[in-house]
Copies of this chain bind each other. A is one copy, B any other.
Amino acid sequence: MDKRESCGNSVAFKQPHGTQIEFTEQKQELSKRTANTGRRTLSHSISQSSTDSYGSVGSGSSEDESSPRDRSQKTHQGLSDFCVKNIKQAEFGRREITNAQKEMPALMVLRKGAGGEKPLAGAKVLGCTHITAHTAVLIETLSVLGAECRWAACNIFSTQNAVAAALAEGGTPVFAWKGESEEDFWWCIDRCVGAETWQPNMILDDGGDLTHWIHKKHPSLFQNIKGVVEESVTGIHRLYQMSKAGRLIVPAINVNDSVTKQKFDNLYSCKESILDGLKRTTGVMFGGKQVVVCGYGEVGKGCCAALKALGTIMYVTEVDPICALQACMDGFRVVKLIEVARQVDLVITCTGNKHVVGREHLERMKDGCILCNMGNSSSEIDLGSLQTAELRWERVRPQVDHVVWPDGKRIVLLAEGRLLNLSCSTVPSFVLSITATTQALALIELYSAPEGRYKQDVYLLPKKMDEYVANLHLPTFDAHLSEVTDEQAKYLGISKHGPFKPNYYRY
């Protein structure tokens, strides 16, 4: 079994799903506000992703400014076990959820498939994810499959208030609103856990904050918990560390490294969002531009393929000789960043590594050079080295800063070095659908697995379920799968119904 953390230089993990569409400036303000509040408890352990800037559509600016915690609200059925911004927005939120359902046909098929048998009957799922129309479709799918759910937000900015209201109105206890303070954040999680009245037996986490909180505050709950499904790089990292340290006491499924995540989300989604993000922010013409992509993992491969196809001249940097050799064979010159820093028009980081672009590179870059990050860590660019007295920062547009050198040279920095695709482009619903379906199947697998199949360790989803996730998405493309005959199955030594590949198969 593969239990090591994924730590490669070019892996270029991505933040999970999101429906971010518009540029957003809120973070700056909210961060400021946050900084002023004198909160302390646990703030050292809040996951980085929980405070990532994360805009959402239609977030009215004129909403009531009183804290949801101070308000008493009830659904039409008279339920009050929830905490959202404004329960009256439920109708609008319901419409959003209904629209999102169209884009997530796989989950709808799962609902239908449930029919008489409810694979999650008896499951009590505690969830902590972004709360958007798309995750709402997931949550309500879990309910249709038999689960009871309670939910909190994994990010203080990303909640779509109307959707949260619709979920609550629909009967799911949800504790989340857009613009939570850090204290609110933990308060919501704690209310969600509701340890005394309701004993969860499954956890669906995104970032690891919920898992962390239970560990710290309600460790006894783990006695009932059959497993954790975790989706984010950060959360997975925490789980592998716990596993190494022998502190992981339930099985966990690593959804982040599923083939459907790595090979689809990271490759195909980034292939498109790099173009989208760059056009939206800078309107740059690609034809003839010289571009260096740092890291040739899935994200780097996607970026390179898209940009090359649009007529750029590409360079790649790598630390891993295997990925470097792939870059060579794909027709990219593999160089050190310092070698091409002077001549390139665009620098894109996709390494998952730290300080890949440093001041020494920035010094060499030419006037007008655009710099952005598509990798996992927001520290790929050494921003600290740019926060010095002689350099002037100029915000020229949302998500676009000019860093101005004394001689007038301007480096165009996008999204302050945070993830370009999360901040400045759309995330296709196809990707959201694949991830949500994988999460649902992981929950089912852990919940219904016979005693002993999973130990206190971190697992990848069984290949057969990966294949099932893929299968559910083929109708979107009107794709017709061929069938294996009995004779062929025998010849190949496999079952007609899969899995079709050995575990080590790389796709």
Contact = CB atoms under 8 A, between A and B. Distances in A.
B8 A479 contact: no
A476 interface: yes
Nearest to A284: B428
Nearest to A306: B310
A499 to B, nearest CB: 8
A322 interface: yes
A323 interface: yes
Contact of A324 (B280, B285, B317, B479): B479
Contact of A353 (B283, B460, B488): B488
Contact of A479 (B279, B328, B467): B328
A474 B5 CA distance: 27
Interface stretch (A31-39, A187-195, A335-343): A335-343
Interface centre among A263, A331, A494 (most CB of B within 10 A): A331
A323 B482 CA distance: 12
A287 B329 contact: yes
Interface stretch (A150-158, A160-168, A268-276): A268-276
A275 B271 CA distance: 12
Contact of A491 (B330, B354, B368): B354
B8 A488 contact: no
Interface in A245-276: 257, 259-260, 262-264, 268-269, 271-272, 275-276
B7 A502 contact: yes
B353 A491 contact: yes
Contact of A481 (B321, B355, B429, B487): B321
Contact of A501 (B8, B280, B477): B8
A369 to B, nearest CB: 13
A217 interface: no
A285 B430 contact: yes
A268 B310 CA distance: 9
Interface in A286-343: 286-288, 290, 306, 308-313, 317-337, 339, 343
Contacts of A122: none
A485 B306 CA distance: 30
Interface centre among A263, A310, A324, A328 (most CB of B within 10 A): A328
Given A285-B431, A287-B328, A504 B460 contact: yes
Contacts of A9: 484, 488, 492, 494, 500
A506 B504 CA distance: 8
Nearest to A99: B396
B271 A500 contact: no
B426 A507 contact: no
A387 interface: no
Contacts of A466: 322
B493 A310 contact: no
Contacts of A8: 492, 494, 500-502, 505
Given A272-B310, A476-B288, A478-B343, A264 B325 contact: yes
Interface centre among A324, A343, A427 (most CB of B within 10 A): A324
A470 interface: yes
Given A313-B333, A425-B279, A506 B503 contact: no
Nearest to A379: B491
Contact of A7 (B284, B481, B492): B492
Interface in A197-228: none
B493 A7 contact: yes
Interface string A92-122: 0000000000100000000000000000000
A392 to B, nearest CB: 15
A403 interface: no
A10 B482 CA distance: 11
Contacts of A310: 271-272, 275, 306, 309, 331
Interface of A: 2, 4-11, 21, 102, 257, 259-260, 262-264, 268-269, 271-272, 275-276, 279-280, 283-288, 290, 306, 308-313, 317-337, 339, 343, 352-355, 368, 425-431, 460, 466-468, 470-471, 473-474, 476-485, 487-488, 491-494, 498, 500-507
Given A8-B501, A288-B330, A308-B331, 18 more contacts: A257-B504, A276-B283, A283-B428, A287-B430, A290-B478, A309-B310, A313-B331, A313-B332, A319-B500, A324-B481, A325-B473, A325-B479, A327-B479, A333-B478, A334-B477, A339-B480, A353-B492, A355-B488
